[in-house]
Amino acid sequence: MTTATTPADDAVSFDHRHIALENHGDVYVIGDVHGCPDALDALLERLDLGGNDLAVFVGDLVRKGPDSKAVLDRVRRSPRLLSVRGNNERKLIEGAASLSALGPADYQYVESLPTAISWDGGLVVHGGVDPARSLSAQSREDVLTMRSPEGDGYDGPFWFDAYEGPPRVFFGHTVLETPIEREWAVGLDTGCVYGGSLTAYDVGNERFVSVDGPDHVERSSSKIVTPDGSC
């Protein structure tokens, strides 16, 4: 993977990996998988990655679903798949949660995940950014867990309703009834593990690709955001 540093990257205070889009073919960003390998396999089959194509995950590859290890195996073994760290990966690293099926190689991979992946004009993080502060003022905690500048709940106001960029931020963490596509924010957690869908965004062609997810965990409708920002 070719990496580089740009002036925009210098403003980012948290750890990140920069990629050069011109070195890749089709580039996709994929929402929260949450341990659902069948949905992941179905989506990857739809995307049909080849050559220099690349898919970047918004984190939360693990937990809640039926087989987190299978998901990690698929992602870490493919040079075409990258991921940022989500709050559920952080829980594993910090010992706040555990998965008995995971071995040392799995934990080593999870610990290696960057907080963000960036390219010129784009930033992939798990949670989001505080729209009232510059990138240089955002902490790792901010971009990992942001839903609202006023807290991590579903009461709003949501950060993506006020964010005016740049860069364009691709994010998960906040469960959405349908994906969000705005000038400066693209939301991709469409509740795969809750009976929703697993969604990818085609960066070059600006389109969504989705497959159905399993109805593995129940979730209150009050914790699913509709596209207009309400619950």
Looking at residue 49, what is its pLDDT?
A: 97
DSSP state, 23? G
pLDDT band at 220 (very low <50, low <70, confident <90, very high): confident
DSSP helix/strand/coil, 42: helix
pLDDT reported for residue 3: 36
For residue 109 the two structure tokens come to 């991979």
Q: For residue 164, which of 208, 130, 203, 206 has the smallest C-alpha distance?
A: 130
pTM to 2 decimal places: 0.92
**Does 130 have pLDDT greater than 90?**
yes
Residue 191 clears pLDDT 70, i.e. is over it: yes
- The pLDDT of residue 11: 64
Whether 7 has a pLDDT exceeding 50, the answer reads no
* Whole-number Å distance between alpha carbons of 189 and 191: 6
Produce one character per residue of 195-212: b if its CB has 16 or more CB atoms within 10 Å, e if not.
ebbbbbbebeeeebbbbe
| pLDDT, greater one: 54 or 92 | 54
pLDDT value, residue 100: 78
What's the rounded Cα separation, in Å, for the pair 167 and 49?
26
Mean pLDDT, the chain, integer? 90
Identify the pLDDT of residue 221. Answer: 85
Contacts of 154 (CB under 8 A, 6+ apart): 147, 174, 222, 223, 225, 231
Confidence of residue 180 (pLDDT cuts 50, 70, 90): very high
Please name each of the domains of the chain with its CATH number.
Answer: 7-223 (3.60.21.10)
Evaluate if residue 119 carries a pLDDT over 90.
yes
